[in-house]
Amino acid sequence: MLMASNKIGFKLGLVILAAFTVVLAALFWSIDRMFSGFYNSEMTTEVEELTAHFAAMTTQDFNGGQTGAQTGTPAGAQTGGQTGGQTAMEFADFSGVSIFYVDRNGNLLAKSGEPVAGFSFIRKQDQQTLFAGQPVSFKYQGADGGHYLVSARKVPASGSGSAETAVYVLSSTKHMDESLIAVRRLLVLAGIGAFLLAAGITWIISRMLSSPLLQMQRATRKLAAGELDTRLDIASRDEIGLLAGAINELAVELKRYRDNRQEFFANISHELRTPITYLEGYAQVLRSGMYKTEDERRQYLDIIHQEAKRLQRMVSDLFELAQMEEGKISLSLEWLDLSELAENAVRKVRLKAESKGLQLGLSIDEDLPLIYADGLRTEQVLSNLLENAVRYTDQGEISMTVLRNKQGVLLAVEDTGIGIPEDELPLIFDRFYRVEKSRSRQHGGTGLGLPIARKLMELQEGELNAYSRPGSGTRFEVLFTRIFENGGLP
């Protein structure tokens, strides 16, 4: 279970340890090479020097004429012997090496020092080299398995004898091998220690890395299961901390989305219920003939008709809003003259305004730049604002002004109506929000007009804002920022 849930840590650990093992092995190999190379060359030099010494000693012995008048006698393998080199042989006994005297044919003449199993170190091919005056040295494994360093050279010819003799010195590598084994043992121990340390550190690091990831996995699972209050408590500021922060933000966003959706559905069902109740109720009255006059009947039919229209509008508004929110609506943007759109919108609402006894004014700045917008949608926004103004104004004037300002082209719709309380002003752009519930209903309002208008303006890179003083009037401002000016397209 731990292994399965801790896979990243496991993989990471494996990679780090593998890399570490390779480095350790390379280090081990080079240190071992270094030590054995050093020991070998030291020992070879030593033995070669010793051989040279022995050769010199032997010559001196000859010169002293103490031994070996009959040099070259193959009598041989006697300690001491007639070959000369008495001092050398005695010396060999003390120095822990073995020395051998060999004639030109490779016959053993004399030997001394440590015993060596076998004589195969006397090789035919060396004889020529040796007696040509070149020293020879090589490694040799005795018949008993012991390893030796062999160094041989010709004994320099003496005055008294024509000694054609070579001296072989064999030094056992036992001590050197033991030292190397000790070094290797130390290296292995250090390697195991380093490996364990690395494994420990890797384990801790992988735990540190994987535990917040596991925490995140658990949290996201909870979020997926609908526990949207789940939050992560990871304080680090690295990438993992950033990811945890992003998950927390996602959770907040998801919760807001869910609450919004719930509220939206509650709103829709509430909004739909009212007209449906009316439809049902009045249809029932008509069906059971519960009316007295023909006028009354027509009145009920009118209500049914109105409510059906309201339902239809609401459904199409909702559909439009949903499409806009999903970014599915396609605008046909083109270069337009806003004054034309403004005049059209005013013309359409004029009849309604006059029937309420309201003045309707329009003032447009000269030399306005063109705006880049969707004509139909823009007119929809303007009509919506004008209709609201007429709807929520009982007396006075409604005016539309179009002017150029620093940010672009500004269109304002101002009325002298009932106004909107300050605390409700930001809410009028929310779906279904109405300040004047009864009046809005009376006029078939859906509470969706302003949210749609604002969304449309945002899609055209513009703005829609409201300013109001309750009791004295309201001003809506529409700003178009994409404008055509000074002959150049923006």
Q: Least Å distance between CB 390 and ligand ADP?
A: 8
Nearer to ligand ADP by Cβ, of 130 and 450: the residue is: 450
Helices (H), 225-238: none
Could you tell me which of 107, 69, 113 has the C-alpha nearest to residue 89? 113
For residue 411, list its beta bridge partners.
402, 478
8 Å CB contact between 49 and 41 = no
Q: Which is nearer to ligand ADP, 368 or 389 (CB)?
A: 389
Stretch that binds ligand ADP, among 50-58, 288-296, 402-410, 430-438 (CB under 6 A): 430-438
Q: Which is nearer to ligand ADP, 48 or 387 (CB)?
A: 387
To ligand ADP, the closest distance from the beta carbon of 233 in angstroms equals 42
Of residues 367-386, those binding ligand ADP (CB under 6 A) = 384
Which one among 51, 71, 86, 388 touches ligand ADP, defined by CB under 6 A? 388
Report the residue number, 158 or 474, with the smaller CB distance to ligand ADP: 474
| Integer Cα distance of 457 and 374 in angstroms | 10
Told to check if 163 binds ligand ADP by CB under 6 A, we report: no
Query: Residue 51 CB: number of other CB atoms within 10 A?
Result: 25
Mark 217-236 with x for binding to ligand ADP (rule: CB under 6 A) and - for no binding: --------------------
SS3 content of the chain, % helix, strand, coil (to 5): 55, 15, 30
**What whole-number distance in Å separates Cα of residue 315 and Cα of residue 307?**
12
DSSP 418-469: ----GGGGGGGGSTT--SSHHHHHHTT--S-HHHHHHHHHHHTT-EEEEEEE
Q: Which residue lies nearer to ligand ADP by CB, 42 or 394?
A: 394
> Which residues have a Cβ under 8 Å from the Cβ of 449 and sit 6 or more positions away?
317, 384, 387, 388
Helix (H) or strand (E) holding 370: strand 370-373
Among 104, 147, 297, 434, binds ligand ADP (CB under 6 A): 434
- 98-103 sheet: strands from edge to edge: 108-113, 98-103, 165-172, 147-154, 136-141
CA distance 317 to 313: 6
In angstroms, how far apart are the furthest CA atoms of the chain?
168
Q: How far is the CB of 398 from ligand ADP (least distance, A)?
A: 9
91-150 residues near ligand ADP, rule: CB under 6 A: none
Choosing from 247, 420, 464, 483, the residue that interacts with ligand ADP (CB under 6 A) is 420
Site for ligand ADP in 242-301 (CB under 6 A): none
Nearer to ligand ADP, 200 or 471 (CB): 471
Rounded Cα distance, 292 and 265, in Å:
39
**In three state form, how does the secondary structure of 64-133 look?**
HCCCCCCCCCCCCCECCCCCCCHHHHHHHHHHCCEEEEEECCCCEEEEEECCCCCCCCCCHHHHHHHHCC
The amino acid at residue 237 is: R
Shortest distance, position 472 Cβ to ligand ADP, whole Å: 11
Pick 6 or 440: Cβ nearer ligand ADP: 440
- Where does this chain touch ligand ADP (CB under 6 A) — which range of 27-35, 145-153, 173-181, 412-420? 412-420
Task: Out of 169, 392, 399, 412, name the contact with ligand ADP by CB under 6 A.
Answer: 392
* 47 versus 478: smaller Cβ distance to ligand ADP: 478
C-beta of residue 167 within 8 angstroms of C-beta of residue 85: yes
Tell me how many helices (H) and strands (E) the chain has.
11, 13
Structure tokens at 255: 């919760």
Q: Does 67 bind ligand ADP (CB under 6 A)?
A: no
How many of the chain's residues bind ligand ADP (CB under 6 A)? Answer: 22
**Could you tell me which stretch among 69-77, 161-169, 282-290, 387-395 binds ligand ADP (CB under 6 A)?**
387-395
Q: In the bound complex, what is the minimum distance in angstroms from residue 322's beta carbon to ligand ADP?
A: 16
Q: Name the one range near ligand ADP by CB under 6 A: 47-55, 116-124, 371-379, 440-448.
A: 440-448
**Cα–Cα distance, 34 to 25 (Å, whole number):** 14
Q: Is 462 left (phi over 0), alpha (psi -120 to 50) or beta?
A: beta
Please report whether residue 152 would count as binding ligand ADP according to CB under 6 A. no
Contact letters (x/-) for ligand ADP, 441-460, by CB under 6 A? ----xxxxxx----------
Taking the least distance from each CB to ligand ADP, the nearer of 9 and 447 is 447
Q: Is 435 in the site for ligand ADP (CB under 6 A)?
A: yes
Residue closer to ligand ADP by CB (options 358, 435) is 435
Query: How far is the C-alpha of 373 from the C-alpha of 480, rounded, in Å?
Result: 8
By CB under 6 A, is residue 415 in contact with ligand ADP? yes
- Footprint on residues 459-478 left by ligand ADP (CB under 6 A): 474
- For residues 207 and 270, which CB has a smaller minimum distance to ligand ADP in the complex? 270
- Residues near ligand ADP (CB under 6 A): 384, 388-389, 392, 415, 417-420, 428, 433-436, 440, 445-450, 474
